[in-house]
Amino acid sequence: MEREVTRRGVIELGMGAALAIPAAGAMADAAQAQQKSPGSVGYAVVGLGKLSIGQILPALKRTKNAHLAALVSGSPEKAKRLAAEYGLPETAIYSYDTFDSIAKDPNIQVVYIVLPNSMHADFTVRAFKAGKHVLCEKPMAVTLAECERMIAAGKAANRQLMIAYRCQYEPVNVTAMQIMRKGTLGTPRLVSAVMGKQTDLSDPSDVWRLDMAMSGGGALADMGIYGINATRYLLLEEPVEVRGWARTDRNDPRFKTVDDLIAWQMRFPSGAIGEGSSCFSQPGTMSWQAIGSDRRMVADPGCFYGGNSLRIVGGKNDPQPQVKEMDQFGNEMNWFADVVRGKSPNVSPGEEGLQDMRIIHAIQQSVANGGASVKIAGGYRRAYDPATTVGIRTSV
Catalytic site residue from 86, 96, 226, 305 = 226
Q: Is the peptide bond before 171 cis (omega within 30 degrees of 0)?
A: no
Q: Residues with Cβ < 8 Å from 122, sequence gap 6 or more?
A: none
Active site residue 96: no
Residue 112 is among the residues annotated as catalytic for this protein: no
CA 225 to chain centre: 8
**What are the angstrom distances between the C-alpha of 280 and each of 74, 84, 155, 207, 254?**
28, 36, 36, 12, 9
The residue annotated as part of the active site, out of 138, 197, 233, 305, is: 138
R_g of the chain computed on alpha carbons = 20
3 near 201, Cβ under 8 Å? yes
One-letter identity of residue 242: V
Report the C-alpha dihedral over residues 33, 15, 91, 67, rounded to 10 degrees.
Answer: 30
Are the beta carbons of 43 and 68 closer than 8 angstroms?
Answer: yes
> Distance between CA atoms of 338 and 167, rounded to whole angstroms?
18
Tell me how far apart the alpha carbons of residues 370 and 367 are, in angstroms, rounded to a whole number: 5
CA 388/CA 234 separation, integer angstroms? 12
- Provide the annotated active-site residues: 138, 226
